[in-house]
Structure 1
Amino acid sequence: MRIPADSEIPDGAVAVPAVVTALARGDAITPVWRNELGGLTFRLDDTRGGGRGARYVKWVAAGTPEIDLAAEAERLAWAARWVRVPSVLEHGADGAGAWLVTEAVPGVPAVDRRWAADPVVAATAIGRGLRLLHDSLPVAECPFDWGVPRRLPRADERIADGEGPADWAPEHQRLTLAEARARLDAPPPIDRLVVCHGDPCVPNTLLHDDGTVAAHVDLGSLGVADRWADLAVGAWSAEQDYGPGCDSWVYEGYGIEPDQERIAYYRLLWDLA
């Protein structure tokens, strides 16, 4: 799976955007994540008894079209009627960038070292969490789309920008650009339409101490698609973060047998799009 090397928990000094300082209103600010596009996430902790509780602020610089925080706020508000996701407190944008403030929810990301040491429990929980999400969110009421036709233009944009086999995951680098793109034009039949998470990688499932699912985060791409669009990528991420073979526990937790044709297709689509 292709996870850019510069997605990380910051371990050095991080410049705090002015709007984040203003949103904190004197609360403690802790950088907790930096993504490959330069987007930052901060935790705000009320250390003075102001009654605000802990919050998270996602911030992205202006001119970063790949991250749409207003769209994420809309999806979080919609999904919150049926599943546990962070509540949106506020969002906005100015000339420097955009921001999204959400409440803190219980649990720690499944990528936490505590769960890296217990990968079977964690990977199984990720599968159960995806099943819960898919079973709970109503397709007929979902206004958001994450299907193949909607995603293919992004693959074409990246190809037009010069991306090719050298930029892909190792299992796809044996394909030529023409072969890979042709495969995307021949998706397998839909297995089951669900409301997909859209970014089902390991860090985006939060777990309680007992290994049960606490919440899902980072739903900026949430939308209707074949369930394998989530499953293929979630299991791929588990294998990368926990080790070879851990993908099987995601399928076990979900309660499904691996479908190799759909897994291969949706991993290629993820890689290119």
Structure 2
Amino acid sequence: MNQPNKIKEIIGGIPYSIDTIGMSNAKVICFEDMVLKIEKQQEESDNEHIMMSWISDKLPVPRVLCFEKHNGINYLLMSRIKGKMSCSSELLENPMHLVKLLADGLKMLWGVDISKCPFNNSIDNKLRQAEFRVRNNLCDMEDAEPTTYGAEGFESPEKLLQWLKENKPDEELVFSHGDYCLPNIIIKDDKINGFIDLGRSGIADKYQDIALCYRSLQHNYDGKYGGKVYEGFDASILFEELNIVPDWNKIKYFILLDELF
């Protein structure tokens, strides 16, 4: 592996494996007690180590061991959170319990004081980032939900961005993970042991995380990622566990917004 010298000094010749579960464009190298995340320098990857350091005394997250930039690439070496991803088959087999754990995680996030949070990821800032991605042809239409584009949806990412700008909902700001999907929530000893992949974290609307959690539950149970299909699962049990009446307009909005990332 070719990394900056400071990273090499720490990892040496320690055995490793390559993570293949995550959906991001980063290369993730896993050691027994460390993880090295390698990705192109951009706002999201620049933000991650800052947010992890800020939130480290408030939530269970990886500890930043070293962060280096080299030739437009970010290298983030962090401690490894022990436990199972919440998309593990063992957890998926018990949906009521899994959803309770995910709801507990959301409540943990929302309990964080955002008054000094270093990153604002509210809708206007997300739309600014989305516009950059659209203009630079960085949006993957092939990976979108079936109804987002085409005859039943939008003509293009440009049209979707325009709709998002014209239909911004009111916001209830909280601390948000930003990508609250099952692989990013780690469970150990029957409780949440950590949150990972925090590049999109910061101040945002509550439904940023609710919407993506709902979508992630749907797809992990319907076999979209190649796993077992669980017949009869209803992701709306998440709302019962959170004791909320779902705002379907916001759920739709934040899922569509995520299509541009």
> Residues 36, 233 of structure 1: CA spacing in aligned structure 2 closer, same or farther, 3 A cutoff?
closer
Identical-residue share of aligned pairs (%): 23
Q: Any conservation in 1 of the 2:41–2:72 contact (CA below 8 Å)?
A: no
For 1:242, the aligned partner's letter is Y
Q: Is 1:130 matched with 2:106?
A: yes
| Deviations 1:121-177, CA, capped at 9 Å, x for gaps | 223311220111111x11212121111110112332333345586663113222334
1:175 matched to 2:165: no
Tell me, in whole angstroms, the C-alpha distance in 1 between the residues paired with 2:168 and 2:25: 32
User: Is 2:102 the partner of 1:114?
Assistant: no
1:43 aligns with 2:30: yes
Corresponding residue of 2:183: 203
How far is the alpha carbon of 1:18 from its aligned partner?
4.3
Native 8 Å contact 1:124 1:249 kept in 2? no
TM-score, normalised by the number of residues in structure 2: 0.82
How much is the aligned-residue C-alpha RMSD, in angstroms?
2.5
Q: Does 1:226 align with 2:213?
A: no
User: Does the 8 A contact of 1:111 with 1:203 survive in 2?
Assistant: yes
Given that 2:22 and 2:183 are in contact with CA atoms closer than 8 Å, whether structure 1 keeps it comes out as: no
1:86 aligns with 2:62: yes
- Structure 1 residues without counterparts, runs of 5 or longer: 1-15, 46-53
Supply the distance in 1 between the matched residues of 2:73 and 2:142 (Cα, whole angstroms): 31
Q: In the TM superposition, what whole-angstrom CA distance separates every residue of 1:100-129 from its partner, at most 9, and x where no partner exists?
A: 111122321112222233333223311220
Q: Is the 8 A contact 1:71 1:220 kept in 2?
A: yes
Deviation at 1:195, TM superposition (A): 1.0
1:250 is the counterpart of 2:235: no
Distance 1:128 1:167 in 2: 29
Are positions 1:144 and 2:119 aligned together?
Answer: yes
SS at match of 1:228: helix
Alpha-carbon distance in 2 for matches of 1:35, 1:113: 16
Residue of structure 2 in register with 1:65 after alignment: 42
The answer for the alignment partner of 1:11 in structure 2 is none
**Paired residue total:** 244
**Conservation of the 8 A alpha-carbon contact between 1:119 and 1:246:** no
State the partner residue of 1:193.
173
Q: CA deviation at 1:21?
A: 5.5
Calculate the TM-score normalised by the size of structure 1.
0.79
Specify the SS of the correspondent of 2:51. Answer: helix
Match of 1:55 in 2: 34
Superposed CA offset, 1:188-237 (max 9, x none): 212x2101101111111111242x21111111111111101111111111
